Structure 1
Amino acid sequence: MEYKWTALSNTTLGVLMSSINGSIVMISLPAIFNGIHINPLTSFQYLLWILMGYNIVTATLLVSFGRLSDMYGRVRLYNMGFVIFTIGSILLSLTPGTGDVGAMELIIFRIVQAVGGAFLFANSAAIITDAFPYNERGKALGINQVAALAGSLVGLILGGILAQIDWRLVFLVSVPVGVFGTAWSYLKLRELSKPRPQRIDWAGNAVFAVGLTLILIGVTYGLMPYGSSQMGWGDPYVMAALTAGAALLVAFPFVERRVEEPMFRLELFRIRMFAAANVAGMLRSIAYGGIMIMLIILLQGIWLPLHGYSYASTPFWAGIYMIPMMLGFVAMGPISGWLSDRYGARLLATLGMAIVAASFIALSLLPFNFDYAEFASIIFIMGLGSGMFASPNTASIMNSVPPQHRGAASGMRATLQNTGQTASLALFFTIIIIALSNYLPPALSSAVTSAGAPQLAPILSRVPVTGALFSAFLGYNPVQSILSTLPPVLTSSLSPSVVAYLTSKTWFPTVIAPPFMTSLRISFYIGAALSAAAALASALRGEKYIHEAQEAALRSRDPQ
């Protein structure tokens, strides 16, 4: 086997493992929280940190690790990532604590995984770029990215199965893959780049890491209730974290200009292709990064219960019903990568994001009780557009930079992508929670009074919107969860028929659907606008540009 295929297959295994891990945890959260005996509906901070903590850590470390790989070797640090990720998976499967202690252990062990994932993500694209000639990189990166989405699909299905057996298997399943991948990478991968000993940019690393961490922590806690408010944006600590983080990130470019060997290669943004493709990639991440979880909440909280599915089964079936989006990406990813090798990325990436923008508009036209065939067609086309964009855009970024800066470039690309995804989740959740905060409490109060339980109206009108939203996401019947927390004297005043009606599969979805769809449509409009902006940035990237080909052309003109 040619070495390039060895490099592709190993890095694809690493991406597959980490993407399976992401979706398998998301779909298995109810079983995980039950396993450690904690109620996620009253412990939002643990839920958010398990969901978003991984992205926060990887986004913070990717640039630094990419820069370190240029200094000490991409394969060496990639191999280290496999080891650390595997250790994190073992620790997660052995989590000894329960309750709050168990939740904190899960978060810490997920952070260990995230450190390993950052090494893998920061170096996989650079290793592929080193191994493949420039006229085959789009195809190779397309295959690699298809594996990432295929891993998400496998994780959704596998998580639904393993969580029913034992929640620890959700983490343990990554261990054999990690052990095999670690052995394979140490035995087969070789260093094609030439490590260049340089000084470590301690100042830049500290300013960037602390600034981005503060921003992402502020965003995470901004989604949690604070005092009598449904969200935490008014929390002084959140405002302080966001202000301090923003100040540090504003100062970061000035720090980098004064450092002899900066970690963030700002001069790469002078390359038109690199700058435009990264801007397009980040806009796409903000537009697209939160769409899957929003659609899963729509399916789990509204559509599936209305169509007879029990709340306990909705996490698994939501993953199944999202398959068309993944199939669209899988179908188009390698094709677009192969076409970009021949014709360049501009047309494909621009057209891909235009298709995604149109798909957002189409989604905004659907009612909450939509026909599934229409929904499946729209998300399939959205997947096609995303697949048309992803691999050509990545290939154009990696092709445009000098070989000695590929690790830094890969880390910068991945950082912008992960930051965009986290910002997307925060943006979409904020829009939905604000809208629901205004409309859901009076709607619940009115609906429960009409159902014959006016004594519950004051209680349901004070239900945290975040709790209602996440309960649907986790596969809990929100009303049943609320009733279980009420004093027996109050619940005993309800007739069995009223309780049965309130806890039925259709009552809560029918009440929440109108305000939820209003807010979701706003998210879709914003997603469409950001996707259109990404298409514009893609169109401005210029003609096909490959650094090696450019250098060869210049040498042929001037042999001296």
Structure 2
Amino acid sequence: MRKWLPLVAICTGTFMLLVDVTIVNVALPDMAVDLGTSFGQLQWVVDVYALGLAALVLGAGSLADLYGRRRAYVVGLVLFALASLACGLAPNAELLIVARAVQGVGGAAMLATTIALINTSYEGRDRGTAFGVWGAVVGAAAALGPILGGALTELSWRWIFFVNLPISVFAVAVTLAAVQESRQPHAPAPDVPGIALFTLGAGGIVFGLVRAAADGWGALVAWGPLAAGLVVLAGWVLVERGRRAPMLDVSLFGNRSFTGIMLGALLLNAAAFSASLYTSLWLQSVLGLSPLQGGLVFIPLSVCSFVVAALAGRSLQTMAPRWVLGGGLTLVGVASLLLALVDADSTWRVLVPGLAVLGIGVGVANPTLASAALATVPRERSGMASGAVNTARQLGFALGVAVLGSVFTAQATAALRDGGAPDAAGTAAALTAGQAGQLVGAAPAADRATLADLLGTAYASGLRDVYLVCAAAGIAGGLLVLWLVRAAAPSGQQRATAEPEAATSR
């Protein structure tokens, strides 16, 4: 039994950091009421964590190779725990957002080292078993986030962060007791300029998109950071092309299969998960469900994704990636079309068929992403490809949440204006911040029923457009993968060594 303690430590941290990508969604209405947040602040609570993971996972892997992977993993756990404590104690939205950013830094350190630690902790058949268990944990984490978040928010939204403290202490103790230190001799120094430029560029784009939802696309605070972010990313590409040891070898994008898989990873998370923020707000602030009830609505997604990945994952690995990823993304698009059937008279039941199909699509596509990316690059770039997949996934989620904010706000404002609301923009801002109940409660008693109907109509209208954009992203992603990806399925030997390669050549 002792030989599996390293896997317990690694899977504990992995589950915790990936659950925290989606666990906050169900708690957002309670956060909005307690802290008096704006819609933009709610977006940042979700986005800044994913952005931290996306921007820093490649750089964190380089630091771990140089200074020790177990050390980096433990530092990540400790930083994650301290940031979780700060999140739980945050007296206002600003400090909560800062603490979530620090959480993302700790999560990146953990995510960057998990594969390497499994590789050095196990050999032969045990290694294959360990990677199988770890893969199941990864698949379950994001899907279970809303359910666990709903249960904990029944106590208080702060408990979605406080629960990380004992889990982190346990993971640190087991890691120090059971995991051996490892590092890569002669590992190159981290690409600090590349990390800094990528973080600034991606952060500028996300900031501009979030501000566009709040202030409109005509505002300088929206398009200014967006344009600056694009310029910085262009500079990042130039810098990476000239470095001997870049955080990401941009020449890999000359391989159309690699490009297609990165686009697929980005659009998969954008289409499949970024709408959950708006779904959770609708379930609780408009339909009046409790946090636990709102979380349980996502059970079809969780169950279907886990079952499909567990039962079909191995057989799907033997198929050409273009069909698996393209088919999974297309299913995600179809699921979003089903979800777009929501209207002002809908209950939570209207979401069940779409969430079930969404779970199937995610279960088909997710397990294949990493191995497909590894099959398209030289062996010495395997670690870089693995990190790039994680970056694309989290960046897709962050960009998706930000883009959908503009889509939702524009449509909700239009519906409120058509319904005769005197301050359509201000009412839409309050509605998107989860304040439907407060808006109705503040209205004269004779007007409350009419206002509640108008708010329900406006929210359903905005939510429908959100799902339609997700449908377009999923279907477009499927078509791009089918067009671009030409890599064959990895051979048995490639599949057996893919993750170990990723661990030692980052």
TM range (shorter): 0.7 to 0.9
Deviating more after overlay: 380-389 vs 409-418: 409-418
Partner of residue 468, structure 2? 522
Structure 1 residue 433: Cα displacement: 1.6
Q: Which residue of 2 aligns with 1:148?
A: 141
Flag structure 1 segments of 5+ consecutive residues without an equivalent: 306-310, 446-457, 484-493, 553-560
Instruction: State yes or no: 1:240 paired with 2:224.
Output: yes
On the 8 A contact 2:57/2:111 being kept in 1, the answer is yes
**Contact conserved, 1:139 with 1:341, CA < 8 A, in 2?**
no
Would you say the 8 A contact 1:356–1:531 is kept in 2?
Answer: no
Contact in 2 for aligned 1:349/1:538 (Cα 8 Å): no
TM-score normalised by L of structure 2 = 0.85
Contact 2:10 2:114 in 1 (8 A): yes
1:278-335, Cα deviation, whole Å (9 max, x unpaired): 2321121222231322333443455xx3xxxxx3x44432211121111111111222
Q: Which amino acid aligns with 1:55?
A: A
Q: How does 1:443-522 map to 2 (within 5 A)?
A: 443-445=419-421, 458=422, 460-461=423-424, 463-471=426-434, 476-480=436-440, 483=443, 494=444, 496=445, 498-502=446-450, 507-512=453-458, 515-516=461-462, 519-520=465-466, 522=468
Query: Is 1:287 equivalent to 2:271 in the alignment?
Result: yes
Identity of aligned residues (%): 22
Instruction: Give runs of aligned pairs for residues 43-62 of structure 1, distance below 5 A.
Output: 43-62=38-57
Cα distance in structure 2, aligned partners of 1:434 and 1:240:
20
1:387 to 350, 354, 363: 363
Contact preservation (8 Å) 1:441, 1:463: no
Q: State the alpha-carbon separation in 1 of the partners of residues 485 and 345 from structure 2.
A: 37
CA distance in 2, matches of 1:68, 1:400: 25
Residue type of the alignment partner of 1:470: A
Q: For residues 266 and 547 of structure 1, what CA distance do their matches in structure 2 show? A: 27
Contact 1:276 1:538 in 2 (8 A): yes
1:126, distance to aligned residue in structure 2 (A)? 4.4
1:331-370 matches, cutoff 5 A: 331-342=307-318, 345-365=321-341, 367-370=343-346
Shift in Å at residue 428 of structure 1?
A: 1.9
Q: Distance in 2 between matches of 1:401 and 1:179?
A: 38
For 1:158, the equivalent position in structure 2 comes to 151
Matched, 1:13 2:12: yes
3-state SS of 1:162 partner = coil
Residue range with higher mean Cα deviation, 198-207 or 419-428: 198-207
CA contact (8 A) 1:274 1:401 kept: yes
Q: What whole-Å deviation, never above 9, does each CA across 1:198-252 have from its counterpart, x for those lacking one?
A: 233333233222222222222222222x3xxxx3x22223322111210111122
Seen in structure 2, the aligned counterparts of structure 1 residues 26 and 69 have a Cα distance that, compared at 3 Å, is: same
Letter in 2 for 1:468: L
1:211 to 194, 201, 215: 201
Alignment partner for residue 429 of structure 1, among 405, 422, 425?
405
**Deviation per CA, 1:456-496, whole angstroms, max 9, x where unpaired?**
xx3x4453422212225xxx41523654xxxxxxxxxx5x4
Task: Give the secondary-structure state (helix, strand or coil) at the position aligned to 2:490.
Answer: coil
Give how far 1:516 is off. 2.9
Q: Which residue of 1 aligns with 2:501?
A: none
CA contact (8 A) 2:9 2:171 kept: yes
User: Following the alignment from structure 2 to structure 1, what is the Cα–Cα distance between the partners of residues 87 and 133?
Assistant: 32
Alpha-carbon separation, structure 2, partners of 1:398 and 1:103: 40
Partner AA of 1:103 in structure 2: A
8 Å contact 1:136–1:341 — kept in the other structure? no
Equivalent-residue separation in structure 1 for 2:265 and 2:393 (angstroms): 7
Is the contact between residue 268 and residue 477 of structure 2 (CA under 8 Å) also seen in structure 1? yes
Of structures 1 and 2, the larger Rg is shown by 1
CA distance in 1, matches of 2:203, 2:72: 22
The answer to whether the aligner puts 1:441 opposite 2:417 as a matched pair is: yes
Match of 1:28 in 2: 27
| Residue 504 of structure 2: aligned partner | none
Give the corresponding residue for 1:450. none
User: Which 10-residue stretch deviates more, 436-445 or 396-405?
Assistant: 396-405
Sort the Cα spacing of 1:31 and 1:265 in 2 relative to 1 into closer, same or farther, 3 A: same
User: 2:186 is paired with a residue of what secondary structure?
Assistant: coil
Counterpart in the other structure of 2:85: 90
8 Å CA contact 2:415, 2:461 repeated in 1: yes
Aligned residues of 2:415 and 2:457 also touching (Cα < 8 A): no
Rounded to whole Å, the distance in 2 between the matches of 1:424 and 1:401 is 27
**Structure 2 unaligned blocks of 5 or more:** 499-506
Q: Which moved more, 1:212-221 or 1:138-147?
A: 138-147
Distance 2:353 2:453 in 1: 28
**SS of equivalent residue, structure 1 residue 264:** coil
TM-score (norm 1): 0.78
Q: CA deviation at 1:172?
A: 1.6
Amino acid at match of 1:59: A
Q: How does 1:184-195 map to 2 (within 5 A)?
A: 184-191=174-181, 194-195=184-185
User: What's the offset of the Cα at 1:34?
Assistant: 5.1
Amino acid at match of 1:516: G
SS at match of 2:475: helix
Question: C-alpha root-mean-square deviation of aligned residues, in Å?
Answer: 3.4
Paired residues of 1:24 and 1:170 also in contact (CA < 8 A): yes
In 1, the alpha carbon distance for the partners of 2:359 and 2:105 equals: 29
Decide whether the 8 Å contact of 1:140 with 1:337 is kept in 2: no
